[in-house]
Amino acid sequence: MTLQIRTPFSGWSTPLDEIPDEVFARAMLGEGAAIDPTSDELRAPCDGEVLSIAAASHAIALRAPGGAEILVHVGIDTVALNGAGFTLLARKGDRVRAGDVLLKFDLDAVARQARSLVTPVIVTNGDRFRIVRTHLGRRLAAGDVLFEIEEQVAASVAGDSPGPALVVSEAVVVAHAHGIHARPAGLIARVAKSLPHRLEVRARGRSANPRSAVALMSLGVRGGDELVIVGFEAAAAAGVAEIARVVRELEATPTPSAPARAPAPPPASPVPGAPGCVRGVIANRGFALGKAARFENEDIAVAEAGSGAVAEEAALGRAQGAVRARIQTRAGGAAPDLHGILRAHLELLDDPQLVDAALAAIRDGKSAGFAWRASIAASVAELNATGDARLMERATDFADLERQVLAELAGVQQRRAEIAAGSILVARDLTPSQLVDIASRLAGIALMAGGPTSHVAILAGTLGIPMLVGLGTSIREVLDGADLVLDADAGVLNMQPDAAALATARARLEEAKARGARERAAAAQPCHLASGERIEVFANLAGTTADARLALEQGAEGCGLLRTEFLFLERATAPDEEEQRGSYQQVADLLGDRPLVIRTLDIGGDKPIAYLPLPAEENPALGLRGIRTSLWRPELLDVQLRALLRVTPAVRILVPMITEFAEIDFVRQRLRTLAGELGVPVPQLGAMIETPAAAMLADQIARAVDFLSIGTNDLAQYGLAMDRGHAELAARIDGVHPAVLRLIEATTRGAAVHSRPVAVCGGLASDPDAVPLLLGLGVSELSVVPGQIARLKAHIRRWTLDDCCRLAERALLLENAADVRQLVRSQS
């Protein structure tokens, strides 16, 4: 029995291979046909249920009653429009009839900004359905038959044994607000790789190998979706339960480069009254003036035919090995954000789905280069088909690995962009490895495509480079060497600045440069309020020597928070005492006699580790986190304390997630015992105040410690009862809320009973509005990211303690965070 797939709108029908896009033209996402539309309504090509709608509203997938899955993708590169010009009339889950209008779009506007309007209509589950008749090369009206499909019935051979029976399974609802995107997928894959049994993950009518992060991402799982983890033998029950536990414990975390903000304006939209100006999406704030440096990737040609499976497999293995070694070397001393991105690239480089698909193509006679490129393209197409903007932004990571492996196979040196210092890069897109090579020469980045949560955007944020993405096709008009003004605070690129605009931009930059120079020159000096009181400004470090060097260059007076989790993540076993001591000692050697505060292991919640299976928890944020995990596994705590006690000069030890006196008293007793065994003095001990309980009991906790340190991110989350990873609530969590300020006041008041100093190492320490409030409430030490130190010291020097105290007193009486911020700004 055949099913007719009808034309979704009027237009000229063409075969897929005439689409100007390799993924669709090679039918990597499935077989079908294309239509060049002449009408502006997309109608259902068959009866069925709406399976998914792309986040950019440009693509809709249906499931027909017999199970066929049909994807209609309006135009090519229309995802970059972020929904501009599209009006949805259907929702996911709707049951529709052939001919029902699903969406409308502005035909002229989309045509001006998209690479092509040619629309593929494809069958995405071609393993079950095949096309038997097509109607191509002719003009069709909406509703005419475009092609027909029928279900494939595999002939069964007598004696064939049936496939493996489903033996064990467990269903779990994904609570992670952003679903299974790159980081959760990588975590699940790492755990799955350590398990010996055949496992499968099923969701949204599809299945995936849990050892493949790419396959997991391609499922398009979102928060609230149900996953079913399946094992095919009784012995797999433990593995099924372990994967289910990992999924339950996933907790969304904010992306560093994309703080919660109002929706971005549509890309490539002209700025009213400003000729030559276009709007983009802010990926990293800042302001830049420079000459345009156009950069286009050169395609690396590959032959389709291989020279034998053995030779081609060996060539691919060698190329992967060379790329792997280069990434590992680069990751060695990298800053945390870059290190995390490179680790993700290593995971993708050896991803079983990517590698297996490439090897299968090689065995079919393809060259290693052709096979690798096809495998990458198929995975990217699967991510794009999910309609999840965050997943689609990971396409640049795949492009990065594709280019690196192909360059090794071809024996060519990857071209480095010839860019003069102070330029503004103008490109369609950019990969992380390309940015690392040229970052020192860039004043700004302007991309036609890309997204604000892509890895290259995260890296630009780390490097402090202003960046706009999603600027659209208008920037094709920019000539190499043309003057550009990139205002990534307002989200605008001026492609044709006149003399007045250039003068204004230069004045703005000169003022910022002079201010920055003054701040940096004074950053090395001890910090005092205008009234003379000493305020120590330390750095938060992620544990690398690169971090420590940067902090000292920026004027850090010590380290107020060294996170130790990095040593425990992404490995099969916990680090031993000697490895930990060596790592901590490296940072101590760089800091010399400056204070070094090291936080004990803070694992749990959003940071689970494979070799430490935590009990299943309904709410990991309220379960085994911080000191609770250490008390649950005290042997880990003892090993870490012994390593810390052996560091010279002596470090200060900070314990996370304290809620009562008994917890910190236990650590103090263990510290005394271990110090006695090693014959070393007992170092200073501190407690983190991250819960309302700890804030209210600060006077008791202060009895057992030498100092307190407030983690304002968690204190705000728990104080306001809002998950800081929740997509809808993150923007409402503000640490200057009067309720949070009262918890901070309770902490400093309790610490004063025992004359204990109080530090703040959370995000509030680097918030200009919050700093005078913290100082007015009794905080005497701030610990921030290295790049904020010079600016923060300059800000502190403008305030007197009396002014800070009066401001804090008034803030405590207000009703909400917005009023507090307005008060501070009125006094600044």
Catalytic residues: 455, 761
For residue 782, give Cα distances in angstroms to 304, 469, 758, 770: 59, 34, 9, 11
Closest residue by Cα to residue 628 from 649, 656, 647, 593 = 656
Sequential DSSP letters for 662-714: HHHHHHHHHHHHHHHHHT-PPPPEEEEE-SHHHHHTHHHHHTT-SEEEE-HHH
d(CA 759, CA 689): 10
Instruction: Quickly tell me which residue has 């009339």 as its tokens.
Output: 89
Q: Read off the amino acid at residue 369.
A: G
- Which residues pair with residue 486 across a beta bridge? 288, 493
| Cβ–Cβ under 8 Å, residues 544 and 567 | no
| Cβ–Cβ under 8 Å, residues 505 and 289 | yes
Q: Read off the amino acid at residue 51.
A: L
d(CA 199, CA 201): 7
- Does the CA dihedral 806-811-813-819 come out positive or negative? positive
d(CA 228, CA 199): 11
Cα 22 to the center of its chain, rounded Å: 27
- Which residues pair with residue 685 across a beta bridge? 653
Q: What is the 3-state secondary structure (H, E, C) of 372-403?
A: HHHHHHHHHHHHHHHCCHHHHCCHHHHHHHHH
Closest residue by Cα to residue 702 from 654, 744, 757 = 757
Burial label, 779 (beta-carbon count in 10 A; 0-12, 13-18, 19+): buried
SS3 670: helix
Closest residue by Cα to residue 409 from 326, 297, 344, 321 = 321
Q: Read off the amino acid at residue 122.
A: I
| Cβ–Cβ under 8 Å, residues 827 and 803 | yes
